[in-house]
Structure 1
Amino acid sequence: MPIIVKSLPEIKSSEITPRSVYLDRRKFMKHTVATGLLLTADTILPAWAKKSTQSGWPELKKSPYSSSDTVNSFEDITTYNNFYEFGTGKKDPHKNAVDFNPKPWSITVAGECAKAGSYNLEDFIKPDSLEERIYRLRCVEGWSMVIPWVGFSLADMLKKFEPNSKAKYVEFTTLFDKSRMPGQQRRVLHWPYTEGLRIDEAMNELPFMAVGLYGDILPNQNGAPIRLVVPWKYGFKSIKSIVKIRFTEKQPQTTWNKTAPKEYGFYSNVNPIVDHPRWSQKKERVIGQPFWKPKRDTQLYNGYAEQVAHLYQGMDLKKHF
């Protein structure tokens, strides 16, 4: 029986971090990994966003899908990362992505849709569509965070390309550039990094295209300038630094599924009853909590069953892991 979770209450930005810090850009930027982020913001933000004197983004809409869990600190979120394009260690992305320049940035759209083509990032960042969504993140490695993302609905973005009836899946691809992403110089994964969703998953209300976090632009180590966030799936499904979206009739091959198909399925939904072959998924370590605190129970679909359980009715969740 699916675990039913009620819609979660909103959280005010002022409750996430002290308001004085949240609004004071200088204090806020002291917590970033690269002071050059301010320069990046000035060059990639559209004109309406540059006019904001207190934050990288204008006032953001709040989402009814936001979690009420305690939000992780900016330091937690930006210094403990998996982003193999910048190294395999948790600290590597925050060290090695400092000089990554995500500008200019475009996204190629291809496949089974009416409006294929190349689009500038600015084509998608509209002030009236930006919102804050506070989502849980559950890593397949057995740890979790809660992150206040800034962005817009994936479904709203995809509808603009007018996918046709043959579009059964959506494939996403990360930038492949060894000179800008030094981790790609090693064959630790199949490059470029690719991920995919079934079309009905992609059109669900939860998937989110993030262009920022904590009210500001997205740091390099977190997937700048634009990444996917799918909160009911393990974190590796939320692909970073996206340069291509392709609508397909057949299920796309994804990087971790190609690398270790017996360990990483195409769906990769958070499921405490389906263990990884090398460790249990029943519990998770909450990043930022004292080491002596016990791990907490992992929820089916990471606590988002009410919104997504219907997508998998009739499916064997152990077979389609």
Structure 2
Amino acid sequence: MKPFVDKSIPKISRVQPGSAPGIHIPPSWEVAESTVTPEEIYLDRRKFLAGLGKVGLAAFIGCTLPGWMELPRAWGQVAPDRRSAGAGQGPELNGSNPVPTAESLTSRYNNFYEFTMDKSWVHVLAQALRTEDWMIRVEGLVKKPHLLNVESLLRRMPQEERIYRLRCVETWSATIPWMGFPLRDLVNLLDPLPSARFVRFKTFLNPNWAPGQKDRFWEPWPYVEGLRLDEALNDLAFIAVGMYGHPLHPQNGAPIRLVVPWKYGFKSIKSIAAIEFTREAPTTFWQSMSPLEYDFWANVNPSVPYARWHQGMERVLGTGDTVATQPFNGYAGQVAGLYTP
């Protein structure tokens, strides 16, 4: 399969024609990294990235990590011009930059129903998640179905940072710096057949780890999400293996997750265990649970109520502010063309 090129989306580049070499001219949708975290944490993160190959990660994160997590030492070897223009500035929220989100909130206020429906308790129960030797089953309309070892995948994928807004269907939002690589790169590596039109993602199924899967056994586990192939190949679609300069915490979707910033957060599936290429749109977890409330697309749309919430406004975590929600979460310039007849 030839690499997909969407000519309607400008190529991300740190150096634009006519500029001095090494000068970064950000695209209109980039959020300044210094607005996402306090400066002292931002600087500490840079030191962390530079030293990943020298110090054990568990000492930084305060929990036991799988052995392969030493792999992101490559993050400290990424040249400055590899850093992506990651997060959408796009239309400004109430005329200002997005409000910084502290990691203490984004790592302690989580939806991960496999473990519990209590956001404040997910980070405790999720520590049972075992990510050593994590494998992803690649299947469906693909030239070579196989088991993909995440450790091997990370060895061959250059890492970059992207700062994206996250909009939950429950009408709250956050701004998060992710580490990882474009989903497009993974799709091209897996080499789907020309007949493939959709990508189906599936997380793990293990009630021994995840009490929510055991307690609510009647729900259609494992969690399933999907994208149309051209959505998966869009520049913004991202595979994250870290955040705030360190590997993902279990509660945030370790060891590998999807980030699709123009869609409601439930589309960004955590702890991916299978990727399947299909001809027809897959039925997602929430479509199975409540087909009248959830559709396949789940694009952020402030003018249309979604699930059981009105979507015109959102609460920004950690600020007490309520701001107007933007179409496609502020990324319309990059993705609206995907949905034009």
TM-score, normalised by the number of residues in structure 1: 0.85
1:141 to 1:309, Cα distance in 2 relative to 1, 3 A: same
- Indicate the residue corresponding to 2:14 in structure 1: none
- Indicate the residue corresponding to 2:332 in structure 1: 305
Residues 81-90 or 57-66, more deviating: 57-66
- Indicate the residue corresponding to 1:62 in structure 2: 83
1:300 to 1:20, Cα distance in 2 relative to 1, 3 A: closer
Q: 2:230 aligns with which of 200, 205, 215?
A: 200
CA distance in 2 between partners of 1:20 and 1:277 (Å): 40
CA contact (8 A) 1:58 1:127 kept: no
CA distance in 2 between partners of 1:127 and 1:15 (Å): 28
- Indicate the residue corresponding to 1:109 in structure 2: 138
Secondary structure of residue in 1 paired with 2:318: coil
Q: 1:14: how far off?
A: 9.2
Q: What pairs with 1:8-47 in structure 2 (closer than 5 Å)?
A: 8-9=29-30, 11-12=32-33, 16-17=37-38, 18=40, 19=42, 21-22=44-45, 23=47, 32=61, 35-36=62-63, 39-40=64-65, 43-46=67-70
CA distance in 2 between partners of 1:102 and 1:59 (Å): 24
Please list the CA deviations of residues 256-290 of structure 1 after superposition, one character each: whole Å capped at 9, or x if unmatched: 01101111110000001111253310000001113
CA distance in 2 between partners of 1:164 and 1:148 (Å): 33
- Indicate the residue corresponding to 1:73 in structure 2: 102
Q: 1:274 aligns with which of 304, 314, 317?
A: 304
Secondary structure of residue in 2 paired with 1:209: strand
CA distance in 1 between partners of 2:36 and 2:270 (Å): 27
Residues 13-22 or 212-221, more deviating: 13-22
Secondary structure of residue in 2 paired with 1:65: coil
CA distance in 2 between partners of 1:199 and 1:151 (Å): 19
Gaps of 5+ in 1: 1-5, 315-321
CA contact (8 A) 1:57 1:215 kept: no
CA contact (8 A) 1:57 1:217 kept: no
1:8 to 1:14, Cα distance in 2 relative to 1, 3 A: closer
Identity within the alignment, %: 42
Which residue identity does 2:116 align to in structure 1?
G
Gaps of 5+ in 2: 1-26, 90-97
Residues 275-284 or 120-129, more deviating: 120-129
CA contact (8 A) 1:71 1:148 kept: no
1:64 to 1:217, Cα distance in 2 relative to 1, 3 A: same
- Indicate the residue corresponding to 2:293 in structure 1: 263
CA distance in 2 between partners of 1:131 and 1:45 (Å): 16
CA contact (8 A) 2:137 2:146 kept: yes
CA contact (8 A) 1:31 1:74 kept: no
CA contact (8 A) 2:35 2:99 kept: no
Q: What pairs with 1:220-235 in structure 2 (closer than 5 Å)?
A: 220-235=250-265
CA contact (8 A) 2:169 2:309 kept: no
- Indicate the residue corresponding to 2:23 in structure 1: none
CA distance in 2 between partners of 1:111 and 1:207 (Å): 21
Q: 1:64: how far off?
A: 1.7
CA distance in 1 between partners of 2:171 and 2:131 (Å): 30
CA distance in 1 between partners of 2:156 and 2:83 (Å): 13
Structural RMSD (CA): 2.4
Mapped pair 1:83 → 2:112: yes
Secondary structure of residue in 1 paired with 2:212: helix
TM-score, normalised by the number of residues in structure 2: 0.80
CA contact (8 A) 1:67 1:136 kept: yes
Which residue identity does 1:280 align to in structure 2?
H
- Indicate the residue corresponding to 1:244 in structure 2: 274
Q: 1:230: how far off?
A: 0.4
- Indicate the residue corresponding to 1:319 in structure 2: none
Mapped pair 1:173 → 2:202: yes
Mapped pair 1:157 → 2:178: no
Please list the CA deviations of residues 147-181 of structure 1 after superposition, one character each: whole Å capped at 9, or x if unmatched: 10000010110111111121010000000000011
Secondary structure of residue in 1 paired with 2:114: helix
Q: 1:125 aligns with which of 142, 148, 154?
A: 154
Q: 1:121: how far off?
A: 0.1
Residues 225-234 or 271-280, more deviating: 271-280
Q: 1:141: how far off?
A: 0.7
Q: 1:215 aligns with which of 245, 258, 261?
A: 245
